[in-house]
Structure 1
Amino acid sequence: MIVVGSDHGGLELKAAIKRLLVDRGVAVEDCGTDNGDSVDYPDFGIRVARKVSDGAAEKGILFCGTGIGMSIVANKFPRVRAALATDPFMARMAKEHNNANILVLGGRVLNEETARQMVCTWLDSTFEGGRHQGRLDKIAALEKELMK
């Protein structure tokens, strides 16, 4: 299952990506927002990031106007590796090198076709492990130290 969430700035792109995921046979849980009224992005980023952090969902996708705000809030959670991507190469590297479990997309900076390519690339890519795992282990150790 993939959890998705957006503020008003990412609402339209979230709807398009939800359709893509369903078409691919992926179970989707939508954590909001569900209308175009102005809302605070942290409220929805928290919902998605908490589910990924707690293991209730394996992956998430967040959307806001630029993706910056959602990236900041999601990366406050332990075990979350949220990656803001702006093209398919970044989406691939987010998975292959960083094993990103949340992809963040900007609804005001991406067109639908590019976003669809990015999500497919991220989903179809595989974490390479090796030297990249050692780097993630350092991040995990830092999280553990900071949580004391």
Structure 2
Amino acid sequence: MKIAMGNDHTAIELKNIIREFVESKGHEVMDLGTNETGSCDYPVYGEKVGRAVASGEADLGIVICGTGLGISLAANKVKGIRACVCSEPYTAKLSRMHNNSNVLAFGARVIGSEMAKMITEAWLEAEFEGGRHERRVNMIMEIENR
């Protein structure tokens, strides 16, 4: 799978750790984040990842900022994106199984690298269950179209 990754200046170190982890699982990574330590604007990178996923250039995306919130809000503004902020693996897993999330977000100032790996692994390994959940995801997408 091809995974687009984006980050702001607060998350360079964690992005690099997760990039290596994702690649070790056999996935290709598109690095759309910053590697500059000076302050930058997280919406730029959330949008880049969202557009890469929405266009099909990437299969899924991972975005990281200080809390995961701001960058996920930016990604969610891209039509077709369902970004979720996760601080533990259970929510990450269910976000894929029930909500068909296509962008994972977490905060470099909120969780450590080992927790980030567990969250990422749970999210990447989970699959959308469809069924009753598909109807609900379609309802979410209809809101976006209105």
Compute the TM-score of the two structures, normalised by the length of structure 1.
Answer: 0.95
Which residue does 1:18 correspond to in 2? 19
Which residue does 1:113 correspond to in 2? 114
Which residue does 1:40 correspond to in 2? 41
Give how far 1:102 is off: 0.2
Which residue does 2:94 correspond to in 1? 93
Give how far 1:65 is off: 0.2
Q: Deviations over 1:87-132 (max 9, x none)?
A: 0111111111111000001001000000000100001111111111
Gaps of 5+ in 1: none
Could you list the runs of 4 or more consecutive aligned residues of structure 1 that deviate by over 2 angstroms after TM superposition?
Answer: none
Letter in 1 for 2:75: A
Give how far 1:35 is off: 2.2
The count of corresponding residues between Structure 1 and Structure 2 is 145
Letter in 2 for 1:2: I
Give how far 1:13 is off: 0.9
**Cα root mean square deviation, aligned:** 0.9
Provide the rounded CA distance (Å) in 1 between the counterparts of 2:138 and 2:19. 32
